[in-house]
Structure 1
Amino acid sequence: MTQQHITHAAELVVQAMLGTDPTPAAIVQALAAAGLLRTTPLEVYRASWDDDSLGLYVSRDAARARCLLDAAAARPESQLAWHPVTEDDMDEEYLAADGQNVEYYVTTVPVRLTGEF
């Protein structure tokens, strides 16, 4: 959704709320109807080597790139490839160099957001 679409949707929500029920529940309902509420949980990706964190990233590709940077420097001649830790779960994957696990991992980390009013 582009910024223009988001702005237009927000304007529609405000127009819908003027002169109607201004309760939080009604506002949330109007935001949901306009498509402005996130329906999937926010996730970040943790890059790590062995037990050391290499940081949190907003995309899997960025976390992978961070791991690849170190692994390629340590093993410049190796063939590097990502593999899931378990076949049925892509939330965690490891980097292999020439078919051997080199202890670099990317893990999907759900972010819990809490709001205070």
Structure 2
Amino acid sequence: MYKRQLLSNEEQVLRLIEAQGGRMKQKQVAEELDWTAAKTSQVVTGLRDEGDLDGFRLGRENVLSLPDYDPEADSGGDDEDESDDGDGSDVDEESGGRNGSDERDATDGS
């Protein structure tokens, strides 16, 4: 009847960050788990010391990520950008935004 698993604090943090795509602000972790900033910091420090979690400062905030998190994979990677260098990427940079690839496709056929 009662199926809820008991997870360690460390496992809760890792699963939460994984569920959010592999990257999350430390403050968001504290809010989601209803923990104090101090408790969150202790758990995160332990995970970082063990190599189970990476992190960096972004302004006044800590951003946490799983060690295998690759932000390039979410945005299409460097391979696409490198192949675009000879295809009028200057024009795409001026137009900006994510629609640059659509505009490139339209101009490549001309």
Q: Fold match, TM over 0.5?
A: no
TM-score (norm 2): 0.28
The structure whose Rg is larger is: 1
The structure with the greater share of residues assigned to helix is 2
TM-score (norm 1): 0.27
